Amino acid sequence: MSLRQDNITYESLLEGNKEWVAERLVENPNYFDELAAGQHPPILWIGCSDSRVPANQITNTLPGDIFVHRNIANVVTHTDMSLLSVLDYSVNVLKVKHIVVCGHYGCGGVTAALGSKQVGLIDNWLRNIKDIYHANENDILTIEDPVERSNKMVELNAIHGAKNVMSTSIVQNAWAQDQKLSVHAWVYSLKTGLITDLKVSASSAEDMPAVFKMDVK
């Protein structure tokens, strides 16, 4: 633990909030009035809960710019009602223009999924990543270095998540109504601070395999 983290307390969080408010008001006296007026973020970010990957900071954006959903290892499944509720609200109410599924190298959830050690309830959640590993096992096993192997799984997990978002009825209905909406897979490096576009994107149902396309009424 860093010295700075040792100094973070319950009280210091409240003091930090006051300092942050004061700084914002110096920059713009109407800052909080404008923020309270409503949100119109163009981006939905689906990322990992890892404390080192805050969406706004690593993209140099402000509160109100990105609508965020985070979970352990940025897993996207079709049975996660929390994620689906966020997705539905983002697409149908906020009318976001882009959905980003962003993983990060060094993800503890992905590393745990590659092993056999029991962690707890989360083992059932990480089973989704094990399924991705199983589907790509032949390619993964050709990577001898364990770090590179984990990094590859991080990329595959983000790609799989983005494709799952694309295949939801929520996104496909939006595309059928000619709503401008794109889905992307990214990965973030903790070591460099840089985001890599994995070049897996879709802006219409035509960008998807036929088996996932729905007949939308």
Partnered with residue 104 across adjacent β-strands are 188
Phi, psi at 98, each rounded to 5°: -140, 140
What is the per-residue pLDDT for 6?
76
What is the per-residue pLDDT for 168?
95
From the list 4, 6, 24, 50, the catalytic residue is 50
52 has catalytic annotation: yes
**Per-residue pLDDT tens over the stretch 148-201:** 999 999 999 999 999 999 999 999 999 999 999 999 999 999 999 999 999 999
The DSSP result for 128-190, as a single string, is: HHHHHHHHTHHHHTT--SHHHHHHHHHHHHHHHHHHHHHTSHHHHHHHHTT---EEEEEEE-T
Three-state SS across 177-211? CCCCCEEEEEEECCCCCCEEEEEEEECCHHHCCHH
50 has catalytic annotation: yes
What is the per-residue pLDDT for 217?
59
102 has catalytic annotation: no
What is the per-residue pLDDT for 216?
67
What is the per-residue pLDDT for 131?
97
Residues of the chain with confidence (pLDDT) below 50: none
From the list 69, 104, 149, 184, the catalytic residue is 104
Amino acid, res. 163: K
pTM score, two decimals? Answer: 0.93
Question: Cα(16)–Cα(103) distance, rounded to whole angstroms?
Answer: 29
| 3 state SS of 70 | strand
What is the per-residue pLDDT for 112?
95
From the list 6, 24, 33, 52, the catalytic residue is 52
Question: Cα(214)–Cα(217) distance, rounded to whole angstroms?
Answer: 9
From the list 48, 102, 149, 184, the catalytic residue is 48
From the list 107, 149, 160, 184, the catalytic residue is 107
What is the per-residue pLDDT for 3?
57
What is the per-residue pLDDT for 2?
60
What is the per-residue pLDDT for 75?
98
